Amino acid sequence: MRYAVISDIHSNLEALNAFLQAAGQLCVDRIICLGDIVGYNANPNECIRLLKEKGAQCVIGNHDSRVAGFEEPTNFNYHAAAAVYWTRDAIDEEGMEFLRNLPRSLLVNRKFMAIHGWVNDTDRYIMGPRDAERNFELMKEARATLGLCFFGHTHVPVAYSQEDGEIVIDRESRIKLKKGVRYLINPGSLGQPRDRDPRASFLIYDTKKNQVNFYRVEYDIHATAEKILAAGLPERLAERLKLGW
């Protein structure tokens, strides 16, 4: 089975379409989305419909949760909060129902976990080895035999592994998963990368090869940025796409 793992689409239709075209060429069997389908950009309804059409399995992200009304964006910065309020007005009933029914985590075919932030907290960021160590502990508590978890939220592709108590950070484009080693892996952001590379980021997990490969694809950033400005969303959200930040 070949799983495409994506995260943080943030209503970026052009990036999502570019990914779907690449996924078709890469013979993907199933799509897993790690949340933040909406927010920041201008096509929430179209992105939700595409994910539903493709049968993607999704978890809720912190922006999805705010748009759905489970929490208010009181701890968001100005631009993020403005996008939440804009999206609440723009999203249709079908899209809102979709967001409100998303789970906080998924166990996919008993092979891996899918989360947005931390194993036990959608809003918290896994930012380094200490955060990873705590989440490896939470993985053990949640799924005693599970050794692989995909997470999003930071918008930066990275892999953390734990073997014999040691945490290792891996930023290689291909990772061969080892038996007996635990992994926390982030595919990066499809719709708003923050690692200075503006291309859409995702990964493929091949269960037959027991391997993870990271990918980047070009998309029409200019079109996405123009939609942000036309929608009346903050100009900063359009500019940062071009910078990969």
143, pLDDT greater than 70: no
Cα–Cα distance measured from residue 123 to residue 100, given in angstroms and rounded to the nearest whole number: 16
What are the residue ranges spanned by the domains of the chain?
2-243
Q: For residue range 184-243, what is the model confidence (pLDDT) as tens digits?
A: 999 999 999 999 999 999 999 999 999 999 999 999 999 999 999 999 999 999 999 999
Cα–Cα distance measured from residue 241 to residue 245, given in angstroms and rounded to the nearest whole number: 6
The whole model's pTM is what?
0.97
- Where does residue 176 rank: exposed (0-12), middle (13-18), buried (19+ CB within 10 A)? exposed
Cα–Cα distance measured from residue 30 to residue 5, given in angstroms and rounded to the nearest whole number: 9
- Where does residue 83 rank: exposed (0-12), middle (13-18), buried (19+ CB within 10 A)? buried
According to DSSP H, which parts of 9-117 are helical? 13-25, 44-53, 62-67, 78-90, 93-100
144, pLDDT greater than 60: no
Q: Which CATH number fits domain 2-243: 3.60.21.10, 1.20.1430.10, 3.40.50.2000, 3.90.1150.10?
A: 3.60.21.10
